[in-house]
């Protein structure tokens, strides 16, 4: 790869061994993908996982004196102080979260602990070159804003944050953003939940091709968030186009950059219903309700609060969101409403964390296939259904 003088200085250790390691990794990635050079990035997001490998890497960079040139927003771990009040947090889990906080603070991250940075705090403009990890973030950045990021790992995004550059390849180039599969949606798409099912189902029909959707009209931000999160979880699809909605798809021709689709599929109500039946656990008694994977918006918090207002939940209910959205919910009286019903909001927290150990072996309800996908390895079962129906079930304790 051709490096600038400054990039070569980073690689040679002029800024310490941490920055040199970050640059070395990026050069290796660039060479693997035949990138001709680096490109400056103006925003970054690191999907920190608060797990040992992630911690090992960030601490190694910090020990080598690395400090971010482009401060990244970061994913959630868990809200230690909150969980210490409601359950037992083991000394090992406490130590890891404390070390995670310390390491990301030392490296100069923006400590948002939120997995929807593209809705608050870290919003790029069209065409901006950026480096984002997090499965719901990369599709939103590429597709909805038309900014350009590869599907980064937490570690490669952190390297970009430290060096301020990323290898020029993949989704950063026009030709790799071209739509590949035409997906004609004939399903009714009545709710944001239908976009979860569409995102989960589409890769079954089109593999990892870049989808170009038709038949989707005025999707909400939550619907677009759901669609991207599931496309990139059920599949490996970090960019999509919606004709007449996303900026690189004003027309079908734009979306395919003048070429022909490699394949064409139709998705119907029956397809989405079939997907839902295959994904979800059977109904029956439930032990809890868990939402916010990805983190809920204030609009979604409001929806839950409106349903439970003046009622009592039969099972505990948690909503995970950003600290900013939680603060908004406090100001708007929504947290009081939820608490009066027996629910709660927890900030800075991911469902794929050991803080939820007290729910292992139990059965919950959620509106997120991604939530159910990740928690299988933690022995949590979920019924997955749309938000309104699932909150009604939490009021009754069964579905």
State which residue, 136 or 142, has the beta carbon closest to ligand F3S: 136
Compute the least distance from the CB of residue 396 to ligand F3S, in Å.
25
- Cβ neighbours of residue 277 under 8 Å, at least 6 residues apart? none
Phi and psi at residue 363, to the nearest 5°: -115, 125
Say how many C-beta atoms besides its own lie within 10 A of residue 60's C-beta: 14
Cβ closest to ligand F3S, residue 33 vs residue 360: 360
Task: Give whichever of 351 and 384 is closer to ligand F3S, judged by the CB atom.
Answer: 351
Please answer whether residues 224 and 239 qualify as being in contact, where contact means their C-beta atoms are separated by less than 8 angstroms. no
**CB contact at 8 A, 362 and 382:** no
Q: Which ranges of the chain would DSSP assign to H, the alpha helix?
A: 5-12, 17-32, 52-63, 80-86, 91-106, 137-139, 154-163, 192-206, 221-234, 252-255, 269-279, 298-308, 323-331, 334-341, 369-375, 387-396
Nearest distance from C-beta of residue 351 to ligand F3S, angstroms: 5
CB of 117 to ligand F3S, least distance (A): 11
Query: Which of 69/295 has CB closer to ligand F3S?
Result: 295
Instruction: Measure the CA–CA gap between 107 and 102, rounded to whole angstroms.
Output: 9
Residues 6+ apart with CB under 8 A from 239: 138, 139, 142, 143, 171, 177, 210
282 secondary structure, DSSP code: P
Residues near ligand F3S (CB under 6 A):
75-76, 115, 136, 293-295, 320, 350-352, 370, 374
**Judged by CB, which is closer to ligand F3S: 23, or 198?**
198
> Measured from the CB atom, is 75 or 180 closer to ligand F3S?
75
The HSE-up count of residue 124 (CA atoms within 13 Å, CB side) is: 27
CB closer to ligand F3S out of 219 and 228: 228
CB of 219 to ligand F3S, least distance (A): 18
The distance of closest approach from Cβ of residue 232 to ligand F3S in the complex, given in angstroms and rounded to an integer, is 10
Phi-psi region of 308 (alpha: psi -120 to 50; beta: other; left: phi over 0): alpha
Closer Cβ to ligand F3S, 172 or 317, answer by number = 317
Q: Which residues contact 6 (CB under 8 A, 6 or more apart)?
A: none
State in angstroms the smallest separation of the CB of 293 from ligand F3S. 3
For the bound state, the minimum distance from the C-beta of residue 319 to ligand F3S, rounded and expressed in Å, comes to 11
Could you tell me the smallest distance in angstroms from the CB atom of residue 368 to ligand F3S? Answer: 7
Tokens 């790869």 sit on residue: 1
Beta bridge partners of 185: 267
């Amino acid at each position: 790869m051709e490096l600038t003088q400054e990039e070569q200085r980073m690689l040679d250790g002029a800024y310490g061994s941490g920055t040199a390691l970050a640059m070395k990794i990026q050069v290796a990635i660039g060479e693997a993908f035949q990138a001709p050079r680096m490109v400056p990035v103006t925003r970054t997001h690191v999907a920190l996982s608060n797990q040992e490998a992630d911690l090992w890497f960030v601490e190694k960079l910090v020990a080598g004196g690395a400090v971010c040139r482009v401060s990244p927003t970061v994913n959630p771990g868990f809200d230690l102080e909150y969980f210490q009040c409601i359950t037992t947090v083991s000394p090992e889990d406490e130590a890891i979260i404390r070390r995670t906080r310390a390491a990301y603070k030392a490296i100069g991250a923006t400590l948002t602990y939120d997995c929807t940075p593209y809705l608050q705090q870290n919003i790029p403009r069209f065409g901006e070159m950026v480096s984002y990890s997090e499965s719901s973030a990369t599709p939103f950045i590429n597709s909805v804003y038309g900014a350009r990021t590869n599907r980064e790992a937490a570690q490669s995004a952190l390297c970009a944050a430290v060096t301020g550059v990323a290898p020029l390849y993949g989704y950063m180039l026009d030709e790799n953003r071209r739509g590949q599969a035409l997906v004609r949606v004939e399903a009714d798409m009545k709710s944001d939940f239908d976009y979860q099912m569409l995102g989960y189902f589409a890769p079954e029909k089109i593999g990892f091709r870049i989808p170009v959707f038709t038949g989707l009209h005025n999707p909400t931000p939550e619907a677009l968030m759901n669609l991207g999160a599931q496309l990139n979880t059920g599949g490996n699809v970090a960019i999509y186009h919606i004709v007449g909605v996303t900026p690189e798809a004003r027309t079908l021709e734009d979306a395919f950059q003048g070429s022909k689709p490699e394949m064409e599929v139709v998705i119907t109500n029956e397809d989405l219903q079939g997907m839902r039946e295959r994904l979800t656990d059977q109904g029956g008694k439930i032990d809890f309700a868990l939402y916010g994977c990805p983190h809920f918006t204030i609009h979604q918090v409001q929806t839950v609060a409106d349903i439970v207002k003046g009622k009592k939940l039969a099972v505990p209910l948690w909503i995970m969101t950003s600290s900013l959205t939680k603060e908004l919910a406090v100001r708007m009286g929504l947290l009081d409403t939820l608490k009066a019903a027996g629910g709660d909001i927890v900030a800075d927290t991911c469902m794929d964390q050991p803080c939820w150990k007290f729910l292992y072996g139990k059965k919950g309800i959620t509106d997120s296939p991604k939530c159910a996908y990740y928690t299988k390895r933690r022995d949590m079962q979920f019924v997955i259904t749309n938000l309104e129906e699932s909150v009604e079930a939490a009021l009754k304790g069964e579905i």
